[in-house]
């Protein structure tokens, strides 16, 4: 286990050290201590390493992650795992706004609650939230899966495209062109797999699927009232 | 033989209404027939105060000119030296503005790279991400980081020579975009993570930040990911140039790209293009003032875009305080868009060469703003690149010849003192004297 004290070496040196890890590195386990809410911790990683952050983080922790597993033992600030391409990010606490925004791939697990705009404009990422999510989540979500074990706030899935949204609890309101969908066997399988990967004990059958009604996929003036 | 009735009252000549002109009437008829606003590409077509309303004075006795074909006039510019380990070094201060793969064909992007590289300048990606042909043919490539994040990839980010965070665009300050479904080929769909054939909306704001404080942290993230090696530009629409420039500088931008309302776009509402934003002439002085107030003029570079067409425009932008300019629409025309040789086909589309602006429909006869494989075959990227290189060289020569006449051995040495304005409006916007006077509206001490 390699331990980096962020307070003593600073952000640049920390990220430089992590970025220097090659695909074949045998230094696969890293621990960052004293994060103290710093921004851009462990962003831009691109190696199969496991980084554990002991404490809470600021903006954009694990941003654009590729291959790495990042565990945050605390709460995460806005934009955690934004634009993630692959790998895994696990937040033991709560996540602030726009967690997993524009993510193209990989798995983001939030053990606590996520604030507003979770999974906004997601493009293939899988996000599993053990608690609740805030308003305007999955806005313009293109693809991937958003799993919410608790409740969802207002305007869920507004203007979403092909992303699948699974919510176990209540949804305060659905956004434009988002509707309740049939839960078919393939969706149960997807959900089962994601819950298993996230280490969350929940029955897939208890979830409701939401997705695009596809009425607004091609602009038509007769739909103008929906915008 | 017709005899005129002597009692007949003569007709007046039919008179068109200035308010309800033929253009306006056709807009009304189109709206009534379709129930939807007009969407088009390009920039503002209305006449607004512009660089045409400024003149250089040149040198006589009080100023000493340089010899046109003997004495050197430098044109190079360094962008992003403030924070970046590897600032961009350009031979000429004319860059190619961001235009997306998707809006433009792959060969058109290749031609932009070829032409810009031959002229010693940079190109810029767009909403569709980075294509191998563009990276391959552009010696210096600026990677746009856009609200939509279509095609966003950290591997491409690290291949870029600079990153341009797009906050706004001159043609549509505050507006998003839409690439209509008919232009979505398999390749475009794959790059944008969306099914083929559906409209692709580009958001009007970045999904993962909410204001200038977040922008600062976003810049930090991008710098950390790219190891602080490349410059970070921030592109803003020319809406509130003083404040937007100030905030971009405070957020840590290495360069500010400022885009006036004559700037083009792939597709947006005509009403937006014509009625939102400020003319390029009007936005430059407030932006320069912001840089000067913060002690950052010439440290954070100002790149001006929006209807730049000639070396005279380049020289005027430089004289008013810009470090470089960017061209978009002009580059497309140089490649061959709207060329009269396709007149018959433009006519078949209900328009004429020079006025074709339905780029979003994907039926561009020149094969430039399309994804139609048959139309794309018409465009030769090598020839297109050669034409763009020629055009960039001509613009540079023109700007140099003006600068020499003003006694300047570098384009950056041009200054507002070299200019006069032909109209009160231009004098007020550019803060240069009305020709024949030492006065401009708002000049301190004039009572205005």
Instruction: Determine whether the interchain pair A63/B225 forms a contact, defined as Cβ–Cβ distance below 8 Å.
Output: yes
Say whether pLDDT at B446 is over 70: no
B50 within domain boundaries:
yes
Say whether pLDDT at B147 is over 60: yes
Say whether pLDDT at A223 is over 80: no
Say whether pLDDT at B447 is over 60: no
B334 within domain boundaries:
yes
pLDDT in tens, B272-308: 999 999 999 999 999 999 999 999 999 999 999 999 9
A224 within domain boundaries:
no
- Using the Cβ of B190 and the Cβ atoms of chain A, whether some distance falls under 8 Å is answered with no
Q: How many domains is chain A partitioned into structurally?
A: 1
pLDDT bucket at B448, cuts 50 / 70 / 90: very low
The whole domain housing B386 covers 39-430
Check residue B5 and give its pLDDT. 75
Closest residue in B to A45 (Cα–Cα): B225
| DSSP 8-class letter at B212 | H
User: Shortest Cα distance from B221 to chain A (angstroms)?
Assistant: 5
- Using the Cβ of A142 and the Cβ atoms of chain B, whether some distance falls under 8 Å is answered with yes
Q: For residue B219, what are its two tokens?
A: 């810049």
pLDDT in tens, B34-45: 888 888 999 999
Tell me the mean pLDDT in the region A192-215.
Answer: 96
How many C-beta atoms surround the C-beta of residue A211 within 10 A? 22
A223 within domain boundaries:
no
Residue A166's contacts (CB-CB under 8 Å, 6 or more residues apart) are: A145, A146, A147, A148, A187, A191, A204, A207, A208, A209, A210
Best to test chain B binding among A39, A59, A118 (most B CBs inside 10 Å): A59
Closest residue in B to A64 (Cα–Cα): B154
B412 within domain boundaries:
yes
Degrees, nearest 5: CA angle B104-B107-B113: 90
Q: How many domains is chain B partitioned into structurally?
A: 1
Say whether pLDDT at B445 is over 70: no
B341 within domain boundaries:
yes
Q: How many CB pairs under 8 A join A and B?
A: 107
Tell me, what CATH number does A187's domain have? 2.160.20.60
A96 within domain boundaries:
yes
Please report which helix (H) or strand (E) contains residue B192, including its range.
none
* Minimal Cβ distance to B224: which of A11, A218, A219: A11
A196 within domain boundaries:
yes
Between B131 and B406, the more confident residue is B406
Tell me, what CATH number does B415's domain have? 3.20.20.70
Average of per-residue pLDDT values in chain B? 93
3-state secondary structure of B147: coil
- Using the Cβ of B148 and the Cβ atoms of chain A, whether some distance falls under 8 Å is answered with yes
Q: ipTM for the complex? A: 0.95
How many C-beta atoms surround the C-beta of residue B345 within 10 A? 17
pLDDT bucket at B366, cuts 50 / 70 / 90: very high
Instruction: Determine whether the interchain pair B198/A60 forms a contact, defined as Cβ–Cβ distance below 8 Å.
Output: no
How many C-beta atoms surround the C-beta of residue A39 within 10 A? 22
The DSSP result for B19-64, as a single string, is: SS-HHHHHHHHHHHHHSS--EE-S---S----GGGEEE---SSSS-
The whole domain housing A15 covers 2-215
Instruction: Determine whether the interchain pair B198/A39 forms a contact, defined as Cβ–Cβ distance below 8 Å.
Output: no
Which of A76, A127, A131, A92 minimizes the C-alpha distance to A106?
A127
Best to test chain B binding among A37, A40, A81, A177 (most B CBs inside 10 Å): A40
User: Shortest Cα distance from B247 to chain A (angstroms)?
Assistant: 19
pLDDT in tens, A117-163: 999 999 999 999 999 999 999 999 999 999 999 999 999 999 999 99
Of A101-115, B195-209, B392-406, the one with minimum mean pLDDT is: B195-209
What pTM did the predictor assign? Answer: 0.94
A60 within domain boundaries:
yes
Closest residue in A to B225 (Cα–Cα): A44
- Using the Cβ of B417 and the Cβ atoms of chain A, whether some distance falls under 8 Å is answered with no
- Using the Cβ of B228 and the Cβ atoms of chain A, whether some distance falls under 8 Å is answered with yes
- Using the Cβ of A213 and the Cβ atoms of chain B, whether some distance falls under 8 Å is answered with no
| CA B123/CA B114 separation, integer angstroms | 9
B24 within domain boundaries:
no
pLDDT bucket at B160, cuts 50 / 70 / 90: very high
* Minimal Cβ distance to A40: which of B35, B195, B224: B224
Instruction: Determine whether the interchain pair A219/B228 forms a contact, defined as Cβ–Cβ distance below 8 Å.
Output: no
Report CA dihedral (B400, B405, B411, B412) to the nearest 10 degrees: 180
- Using the Cβ of B204 and the Cβ atoms of chain A, whether some distance falls under 8 Å is answered with no
């Amino acid at each position: 286990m390699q331990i980096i004290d962020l307070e003593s070496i600073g952000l640049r040196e920390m990220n430089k050290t992590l970025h220097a890890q090659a695909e074949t590195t045998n230094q696969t386990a890293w621990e960052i201590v004293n994060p103290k809410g710093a921004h851009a911790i462990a962003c831009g990683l691109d190696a199969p390493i496991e980084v554990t952050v002991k404490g809470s983080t600021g903006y954009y922790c694990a941003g654009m992650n590729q291959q790495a597993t990042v565990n945050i033992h605390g709460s995460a600030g806005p934009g955690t795992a934004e634009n993630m391409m692959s790998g895994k990010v696990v937040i033991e606490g709560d996540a602030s706004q726009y967690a997993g925004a524009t993510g193209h791939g990989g798995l983001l697990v939030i053990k606590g609650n996520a604030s507003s705009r979770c999974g906004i404009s997601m493009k293939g990422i899988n996000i599993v939230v053990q608690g609740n999510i805030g308003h305007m989540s999955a806005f313009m979500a293109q693809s991937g899966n958003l799993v919410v074990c608790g409740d969802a706030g207002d305007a869920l899935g507004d203007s979403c495209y092909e992303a699948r949204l699974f919510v176990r609890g209540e949804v305060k309101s659905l956004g434009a062109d988002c509707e309740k969908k049939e839960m078919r066997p393939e969706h149960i399988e997807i959900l089962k797999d994601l819950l298993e990967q996230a280490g969350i004990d929940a029955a897939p059958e208890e979830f409701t699927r939401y997705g695009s009604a596809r009425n607004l996929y091609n602009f038509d003036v007769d739909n103008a009232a929906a915008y | 033989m017709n005899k005129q009735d002597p009692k007949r009252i003569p007709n007046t000549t039919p008179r068109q209404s200035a308010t309800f002109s033929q253009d306006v009437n056709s807009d009304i008829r189109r709206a009534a027939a379709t129930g939807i606003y007009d969407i088009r590409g390009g920039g503002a077509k209305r006449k607004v105060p512009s660089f045409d309303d400024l003149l250089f004075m040149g040198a006589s006795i009080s100023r000493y000119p340089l010899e046109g074909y003997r004495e050197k006039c430098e044109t190079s510019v360094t962008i992003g030296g403030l924070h970046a380990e590897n600032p961009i070094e350009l031979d000429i201060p004319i860059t190619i503005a961001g235009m997306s793969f998707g809006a433009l064909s792959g060969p058109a992007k290749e031609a932009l790279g070829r032409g810009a590289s031959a002229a010693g300048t940079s190109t810029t990606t767009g909403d569709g991400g980075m294509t191998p042909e563009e990276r391959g043919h552009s010696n210096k490539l600026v990677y746009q980081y856009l609200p939509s994040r279509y095609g966003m990839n950290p591997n491409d980010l690290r291949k870029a020579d600079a990153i341009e965070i797009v906050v706004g665009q001159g043609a549509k300050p505050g507006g998003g975009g839409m690439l209509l479904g008919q232009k979505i080929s398999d390749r475009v769909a794959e790059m944008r993570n969306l099914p083929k054939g559906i409209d692709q909306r580009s958001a009007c704001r970045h999904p993962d930040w909410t204001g200038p404080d977040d922008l600062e942290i976003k810049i930090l993230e991008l710098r950390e990911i790219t190891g602080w090696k490349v410059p970070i530009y921030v592109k803003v629409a020319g809406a509130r140039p003083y404040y937007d420039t100030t905030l971009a500088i405070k957020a840590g931008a290495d360069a500010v790209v400022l885009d006036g309302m004559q700037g083009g776009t792939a597709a947006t509402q005509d009403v937006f293009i014509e009625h939102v934003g400020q003319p390029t002439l009007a936005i430059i002085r407030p932006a320069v003032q912001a840089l000067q107030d913060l002690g950052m003029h010439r440290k954070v570079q100002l790149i001006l875009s929006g209807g730049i067409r000639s070396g005279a425009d380049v020289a005027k932008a430089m004289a008013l305080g810009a470090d470089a300019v960017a061209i978009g629409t002009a580059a497309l025309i140089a490649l061959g868009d709207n060329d009269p040789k396709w007149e018959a086909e433009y006519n078949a589309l209900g328009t004429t060469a020079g006025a074709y602006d339905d780029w979003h429909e994907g039926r561009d006869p020149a094969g430039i703003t399309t994804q139609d494989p048959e139309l794309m075959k018409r465009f030769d990227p090598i020839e297109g690149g050669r034409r763009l290189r020629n055009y960039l060289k001509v613009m540079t020569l023109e700007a140099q010849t003006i600068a020499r006449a003003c006694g300047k051995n570098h384009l950056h040495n041009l200054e507002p003192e070299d200019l006069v304005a032909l109209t009160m409006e231009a004098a007020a916007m550019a803060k240069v004297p009305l020709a024949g006077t030492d006065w401009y509206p708002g000049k301190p001490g004039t009572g205005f």
